[in-house]
Amino acid sequence: MSEPTETTSHRPRRIAVLASGGGSNLQALIDYFAGAGASAGTICWVGSDKAQAGAFDRAQAAGIPTAHVTAPHDGDVLLALLREARADLLVLAGYLKLIPEVVVRAFHGRLVNIHPALLPAFGGPGMYGQRIHAAVLAHGAMVTGATVHFVDEQFDRGPIIAQWPVPVLPGDTPALLASRVLAVEHRLFPLCVAAVAAGTVQLGEDGRVHGDLGIPVPVHSPAWRFALTADDTPDPTPISHPTPDGTSAAAQALATDVARLFPR
Ligand code: GRF
């Protein structure tokens, strides 16, 4: 096992990915770290508990070594695989198994998951796939989204790195909602993984996330604007950089939208 991430070194971090499904998030990671993110990290290994996972096809097409994790609850076996892959980071991209405690401990601060809802809502055991989006619709929630977080010993519980809100629209089905959320997952996930790989975002000893993603976090995203006005043109440039007077541009833009929607 390699040592924890050192921010002083510029060596691209070796990123291992676990995925159980089709692997569209894996693909987003592969594409990002083959291009803009190449200096921060490289995808070194892909594992899955499912022998037929579509993620394997994507990994193999990119020339990335793969492994079928036949005993996903055996932490020692998983650790041995990750050690063999010389993984610095472990990333869960639609992985359905609980990560064994010994792996959680070994990858403390270096283990990241994406979840297609705004945690801590609509997460935890049994909340996977379209069940999540069906539950969002069943509750009548008006906003959902994507969450990237550090992983602890429980499903979907660790400290949150970033979130991106996505509107629930009239006529939505679980499948429609899933595809709308997936679109933002593909943008948010690589940026978060790169920030952890580069050490610009870290899990502190206080159990909280520290640092700066170094990107315009899409708190006030095109999707969010779209939620507020039916005829809105999505803004291609999410804005949340602090302004000189200290207020965030996101807050200002939201105030503008609110003023437009609810004129005095
Ligand atoms: C994504 O929605 C991810 O957030 C969740 O599982 C889904 C995996 O989709 N954990 P894909 O396999 O990446 O296409």
Atom 9 in ligand 1: residue holding the nearest Cα:
94
| Cross-strand partners of 69 | none
pLDDT value at 246 more than 50 = no
Each residue's pLDDT tens digit, 193-217: 999 999 999 999 999 999 877 655 4
Domain coordinates in residue numbering, the chain: 13-213, 216-264
| Ligand 1 environment, Cβ below 6 A | 19, 21-25, 93-94, 114-116, 182, 185
CA–centroid distance, 96 to ligand 1, in Å, is: 9
Atom 14 in ligand 1: residue holding the nearest Cα:
24
Q: Given pLDDT bands bounded at 50, 70 and 90, which one contains residue 183?
A: confident
Question: What are the helix (H) ranges across the chain?
Answer: 24-34, 54-61, 75-84, 101-106, 130-139, 174-198, 222-228, 249-261
pLDDT score at 216 = 53
Interval 131-149 mean pLDDT: 94
pLDDT score at 238 = 38
CA–centroid distance, 24 to ligand 1, in Å, is: 7
CA–centroid distance, 21 to ligand 1, in Å, is: 7
Atom 6 in ligand 1: residue holding the nearest Cα:
94
pLDDT score at 260 = 54
pLDDT score at 222 = 42
pLDDT score at 120 = 96
d(CA 27, CA 2): 25
Residues involved in catalysis? 115
Tell me the pTM. Answer: 0.83
pLDDT value at 255 more than 70 = no
CATH of domain 13-213: 3.40.50.170
Is residue 78 a contact partner of residue 64, using CB atoms and an 8 Å limit? Answer: no
At 64, the amino acid letter reads I
Atom of ligand 1 nearest to the CA of 93: 13
Atom 7 in ligand 1: residue holding the nearest Cα:
94
Among 24, 25, 113, residue to substitute to test ligand 1 (most atoms within 8 Å of Cβ): 25
Which residues, at least 6 apart from 34, have a Cβ–Cβ distance to it below 8 Å? Answer: 62
